Structure 1
Amino acid sequence: MTRSFLNNVILFIVLLSCIITVTQSIKVAVLATGGPEDLGFNYQVNQAKVNAEKALNLREVYYFSDIPIPESKEFIYNLCESGYNLIIVSTLDYLSGAREAAKAYPNVQFLLRGSGATSSNIQSVTYNFISANYVTGYFAGLMTKSKIIGYVTPGPPASSNYAAHAFYVGAKNSNPDIESMYFYSTGSWLNPEISAGAANSLLSDYGVDVIGQTQDDMSVQIEAVDRGYIGIGTNGFNQKEVFGDKIALSYVLDWTSVFVDLIQKNIDHPDGNYTKTNYYGDWDNSFLTYTHSRSLDPQVKSILDEIILNFTAVPKAMAPFFCNDYNKYTFSATYLTGAELNCISQARFQNMSDPYPGMTWLGNYTIPITLKEVPKTFTRAFTATSGALILLALILEAVIYINKDKPIIRSASPIFCILIIMGGIIVYASIILWTVSPTTATCNARYWLVSIGFTTLIGSMVVKNFRIWLIFDNPELKTIKITNYQLFPWVAGLLVINALLVAIITASGDLKMVEVMGIDDLTKYQYMQVCKMNNSGAIALYILLAYFALLLLVGVFVSWKIRIVDIAEFNESKPIANTLYAISFSLFVIVSLVVSPQYYLDQQMILCIAGLFMATAALGILFVPKLYGLATRGSSTEQLFSMKKSSIASSRSSASKNSSNPDSGDSGKSSHNPHNYYKKSTNNVLAEFTDESISDQEDESNDLPIENTNSNRV
């Protein structure tokens, strides 16, 4: 008994090995236009593949999708070379390459989508797609309230429009009061953006309330369901499983029996020596079925069951979609057959593209290319902020002018203070232009205003403090008179250099507004207006930035030199340095943005923030202390500016004598404290600083040097 049991086990193992060997001897490829995640046609094809694997205990059945049509022939050839025994092509797009491969590899079996004739290694599979659309059209005619229906079809070159014709005939047969049917073509079986846009147009612009489709996905019906209309599942999957009762009707395609039968034949006859047959799915062989919502009127279901039953009761050539009176208006009598001369052949019907009377073809739908404008919140926020800062700057200008004779303002050169503030105002105005939708004019104005504004602000500050340096930093402490009229050409020269560089950007840089796509987070149907320049303009822009960097370095140097001034009203080294550091940091950020990839709108926002920060920081650091001094000290330092020139001369003469006779009793304090002497002498010099408050009549002694051999300078 033990030996018998062992023999049985061995026999079982041998048989199992044989079965596994047989089942694993076949290698199957299934080709589809898209992945199975579409929950439509491709999902059903993949589901049949999975069901066949389970039923036949297969492992090497592979699903391939999204193969570009021009590359499909080479791809199928590679499959044949890779040892695939059976290749199932479920899409019409790959037929041409598949037929050529079948001729080149006669030992490989092919199942091709379509209705072509069989050959030694080719069979075909199709289903009654026309009747499926006729049934859904019949249902649409029963459900419409507006009596206006719609349809979305691939259209040429993907397919002719016959599915739309079948849908329309079904609707008219169920409801003769249908007024019209509008339909769009999309140009492909799977383009959700196009098909959803077409559905939206039909529902919004043409009064359609029930819509059909010939698409691999459910984009059309999703659009209808989302807007409160009924949905019809027309791509082979039971859409009720996804959308519930919002889908009133779905026709379902079940490819499983075809796949199982074909693969089993190839397992039994690996040499391909079996009777070839073409597969045809219809309502009467469980390939084509339908599901409906729970709320569907039982009477409507009864009507649908009756017309489906009629398909099996009449010859296929006499089906209502082949035989109808609309054919008489579309075809000449030469092509009409049947007792009433209103029938056409299936081949002629499936090649139809011209609409029947009552059908209106709206052409190939294209999604309008729309402009993505600058966000309103972005524009409003920066415009309001810039406007408020301009108002504050104008108030500051007025305060400076009203208090121009106060020592704390006079010491800072009121005219240059006004120029610095004016530069800030120009920068603020330029920020507004950076936040609006660009034009070629505003693109150029942006660079002109922002550069001139900063040149005025920084240049005036540097030139103003350059005068302080020259006045205080001279070894003999001679009276040095430098008027504003002598300094203005320097500011003008800085502006001329700036203007030349920006002119190069404008002229040779071809700075203009262009419309671009594919940047930021734009969809492929959006474009944005941006400012753009060529390489010459970019080089000029880098030179302009280098010019600003040089100007900042000069400003830092002058700020460092005037640190020796020990009178607070004139010693602006710290606030100027802080201002220049803030501007330098912001320019570093700007340069980093220029050379690194950024979202365009993000870049504009950062540039605007940097511009506001630089201008506001400069004005705040320079003028807030002065405003605070005006409020707290007022004219307490007026004595610095009250000396007449004659007293300055006598003071200098006396100081010179005392310094040369250190034993003199009157000069003891001064000679024993050189620092006090320097400060006193410096105060005399300050009386000459604000030249517009001093008479043009000069005492000759003003030209005399102040003898200070001790060189005790701060």
Structure 2
Amino acid sequence: MKKYFLLLLLLVSIVSLTIGCGNQDAKTPNDPASGDEPMKVGFIYVGPIGDAGYTYAHDLGAEFMKKELEDSVELIKVENVPENAADTERVLNQLIDQGCKIIFATSFGYMDSVIKVAEENKDVVFLHCSGYKTAENVGTYFGQIEQPRYLSGIAAGKMTKTNIIGYVAAHQIPECIRGINAFTMGARSVNPDVKVKVVWTNTWFDPPKEKDAGTSLLQDGADVIAQHQDTPGPMQAAEEGGAYGISYNSDMSKFAPKAVITGPIWNWGPYYVKTVKAVQDGTWKSEKYWGPMSDGVVDLAPIADFVPEDVKQLIETEKGRILSGELNIFTGPIKDQTGADKVPAGTTMTDDEILNMDWFVQGVEGSPK
């Protein structure tokens, strides 16, 4: 019996040793290749992915992030979410119910709903684009799109013949106002006679209305149309009217190749990769990210071939000054649209002052409120 007992102990030991050796190759729970469920990442879009503008740019970034992080993430996207509390909160909660652990809310009007839902779901990380309210599990993110806007203003100021530039703008919020100001300062830095006429549409995505706004500005004498809209409608109006255009969000030249000079563009991909990685490895902390051109989150679309070489060179020179930090576009002297001194010479506006801008610079025609 002792022999049989010893033999049984030996067999048990061999089996235990074999299992132990096999476990040495097991993946850790945080290893994407371990077979664990991928982290679900939600995106809320204000318009359709096919808008060719703002939502399209965000979705390019989301897909870039998915490609970089491969099977460690799963994307869940919801398009055309209106900026009201009922719809926003409903969609946020749907994404949470589907298992999302990080949610990117990509439009300004989602801000208060994000804060409310985040308070009720502390285990979920929320990132709100273009807002200013944060919490322990809520961060904000945006880019200093004013920098390429200033450069696009230089292009417009050089290309106009009538010295009237039309600007189709979305909503009377600081994001749009500071963009108009940066654009105007860029244009007037090379052409002090320029006037920028603003038409508000109170829309982000309404192609016919935004195109009509561009047409109305052409009828007012504009020969360059700029925009802060999510569609190429104003650029198409410019081309049909024999004018030039400054697009936004993505390179819209394919929609109006004879009109589009250039335009400020977004590159969200690297930011999305960095942020999701930080959540995955537990190092993420709430912040107010406002990335400059030197981060690559904002840039200028390729300049059209029909633009004179000296204009291209000037833009490249000024871009270099922005990238190096030599040129800060919101450094005084800056006057408001009434001609009153707003920012003294040698004084640079603070981030808070820029992010809450509610007044127009000299050269802008229209009301910011």
Do both share a fold (TM > 0.5)? yes
* 2:224 aligned with 1:224: no
Question: Match for residue 202 of structure 2?
Answer: 187
Aligned residue runs from structure 1 range 589-668, under 5 A: none
For residue 115 of structure 1, report the CA deviation from its aligned partner.
Answer: 5.7
Question: Match for residue 225 of structure 2?
Answer: 211
Equivalent residue for 1:361, pick from 357, 362, 366: 366
CA contact (8 A) 2:232 2:255 kept: no
* 2:333 aligned with 1:324: yes
Question: Match for residue 170 of structure 1?
Answer: 186
Q: Deviation string for 1:193-215 (max 9, x for gaps)?
A: 222111101102x1110111111
State the distance in 1 between where 2:303 and 2:24 align.
48
Question: Match for residue 138 of structure 1?
Answer: 154
For residue 313 of structure 1, report the CA deviation from its aligned partner.
Answer: 3.7
CA contact (8 A) 2:40 2:100 kept: yes
* 2:115 aligned with 1:102: no
Flag structure 2 segments of 5+ consecutive residues without an equivalent. Answer: 1-18
Question: Match for residue 45 of structure 2?
Answer: 32
* 2:293 aligned with 1:283: yes
**Given the superposition, is the C-alpha separation of residues 282 and 177 from structure 1 closer, same or farther in structure 2, using an over 3 Å criterion?**
same
SS in 2 for 1:296: coil
For residue 14 of structure 1, report the CA deviation from its aligned partner.
Answer: 5.0
Question: Match for residue 130 of structure 2?
Answer: 114
RCO (CA 8 Å, sep 6+): is it higher in 1 or 2?
2
One-letter identity of the residue aligned with 1:326: K
For residue 338 of structure 1, report the CA deviation from its aligned partner.
Answer: 4.9
Aligned residue runs from structure 1 range 419-438, under 5 A: none
Flag structure 1 segments of 5+ consecutive residues without an equivalent. Answer: 1-6, 365-714
State the distance in 1 between where 2:333 and 2:215 align.
31
Paired residues, number: 344
**Given the superposition, is the C-alpha separation of residues 15 and 244 from structure 1 closer, same or farther in structure 2, using an over 3 Å criterion?**
farther
- Bigger Rg, which one: 1
Equivalent residue for 2:54, pick from 35, 41, 45: 41
State the distance in 2 between where 1:223 and 1:245 align.
11
**Given the superposition, is the C-alpha separation of residues 169 and 22 from structure 1 closer, same or farther in structure 2, using an over 3 Å criterion?**
farther
CA contact (8 A) 1:30 1:63 kept: yes
Question: Match for residue 139 of structure 2?
Answer: 123
**Given the superposition, is the C-alpha separation of residues 259 and 230 from structure 1 closer, same or farther in structure 2, using an over 3 Å criterion?**
same
Question: Match for residue 614 of structure 1?
Answer: none
For residue 141 of structure 1, report the CA deviation from its aligned partner.
Answer: 0.3
**Given the superposition, is the C-alpha separation of residues 148 and 274 from structure 1 closer, same or farther in structure 2, using an over 3 Å criterion?**
closer
Q: Deviation string for 1:541-595 (max 9, x for gaps)?
A: xxxxxxxxxxxxxxxxxxxxxxxxxxxxxxxxxxxxxxxxxxxxxxxxxxxxxxx
State the distance in 2 between where 1:167 and 1:330 align.
17
SS in 1 for 2:247: strand
CA contact (8 A) 2:337 2:360 kept: no
Question: Match for residue 307 of structure 1?
Answer: 318
State the distance in 1 between where 2:206 and 2:254 align.
23
**Given the superposition, is the C-alpha separation of residues 47 and 328 from structure 1 closer, same or farther in structure 2, using an over 3 Å criterion?**
closer
Question: Match for residue 11 of structure 2?
Answer: none
* 2:77 aligned with 1:56: no
CA contact (8 A) 1:73 1:101 kept: yes
Question: Match for residue 13 of structure 2?
Answer: none
State the distance in 2 between where 1:211 and 1:156 align.
18
Question: Match for residue 258 of structure 1?
Answer: 271
State the distance in 1 between where 2:177 and 2:144 align.
15
Question: Match for residue 402 of structure 1?
Answer: none
For residue 297 of structure 1, report the CA deviation from its aligned partner.
Answer: 2.1
One-letter identity of the residue aligned with 1:103: E
For residue 85 of structure 1, report the CA deviation from its aligned partner.
Answer: 0.3
State the distance in 2 between where 1:356 and 1:337 align.
13
For residue 24 of structure 1, report the CA deviation from its aligned partner.
Answer: 3.1
Which is richer in helix? 1
State the distance in 2 between where 1:298 and 1:24 align.
53
CA contact (8 A) 2:343 2:349 kept: yes
State the distance in 2 between where 1:201 and 1:30 align.
35
One-letter identity of the residue aligned with 2:313: S
SS in 2 for 1:156: coil
State the distance in 2 between where 1:286 and 1:242 align.
24
State the distance in 2 between where 1:344 and 1:350 align.
10
State the distance in 2 between where 1:23 and 1:287 align.
31
CA contact (8 A) 2:337 2:363 kept: no
SS in 2 for 1:87: strand
SS in 1 for 2:192: coil
**Given the superposition, is the C-alpha separation of residues 142 and 156 from structure 1 closer, same or farther in structure 2, using an over 3 Å criterion?**
same
Aligned residue runs from structure 1 range 212-611, under 5 A: 212-234=226-248, 236-244=249-257, 246-269=259-282, 273-290=283-300, 291-314=302-325, 319-327=328-336, 329=338, 336-339=343-346, 344-361=349-366
For residue 61 of structure 1, report the CA deviation from its aligned partner.
Answer: 0.7
Which is richer in strand? 2
% of aligned pairs identical? 20
**Given the superposition, is the C-alpha separation of residues 223 and 20 from structure 1 closer, same or farther in structure 2, using an over 3 Å criterion?**
same
**Given the superposition, is the C-alpha separation of residues 226 and 284 from structure 1 closer, same or farther in structure 2, using an over 3 Å criterion?**
same
SS in 2 for 1:151: strand
Q: Deviation string for 1:614-634 (max 9, x for gaps)?
A: xxxxxxxxxxxxxxxxxxxxx
For residue 145 of structure 1, report the CA deviation from its aligned partner.
Answer: 1.0
For residue 90 of structure 1, report the CA deviation from its aligned partner.
Answer: 1.2
**Given the superposition, is the C-alpha separation of residues 350 and 261 from structure 1 closer, same or farther in structure 2, using an over 3 Å criterion?**
closer
**Given the superposition, is the C-alpha separation of residues 175 and 41 from structure 1 closer, same or farther in structure 2, using an over 3 Å criterion?**
same
Equivalent residue for 2:217, pick from 179, 184, 202: 202
* 2:100 aligned with 1:84: yes
RMSD, aligned α-carbons: 3.1
CA contact (8 A) 2:169 2:201 kept: yes
Q: Deviation string for 1:462-505 (max 9, x for gaps)?
A: xxxxxxxxxxxxxxxxxxxxxxxxxxxxxxxxxxxxxxxxxxxx
One-letter identity of the residue aligned with 1:281: G
Question: Match for residue 409 of structure 1?
Answer: none
**Given the superposition, is the C-alpha separation of residues 45 and 328 from structure 1 closer, same or farther in structure 2, using an over 3 Å criterion?**
closer
Give TM-score, length-normalised by structure 1. 0.44
SS in 1 for 2:39: coil
State the distance in 2 between where 1:175 and 1:12 align.
70
CA contact (8 A) 1:160 1:351 kept: no
**Given the superposition, is the C-alpha separation of residues 23 and 361 from structure 1 closer, same or farther in structure 2, using an over 3 Å criterion?**
farther
Q: Deviation string for 1:94-115 (max 9, x for gaps)?
A: 1110011111111101111136
One-letter identity of the residue aligned with 1:29: G
CA contact (8 A) 1:55 1:260 kept: yes
SS in 2 for 1:69: coil
One-letter identity of the residue aligned with 2:333: N
Give TM-score, length-normalised by structure 2. 0.82
SS in 1 for 2:296: coil
State the distance in 2 between where 1:328 and 1:149 align.
15
SS in 2 for 1:88: strand
One-letter identity of the residue aligned with 1:208: A
State the distance in 1 between where 2:173 and 2:285 align.
34
CA contact (8 A) 1:160 1:350 kept: no
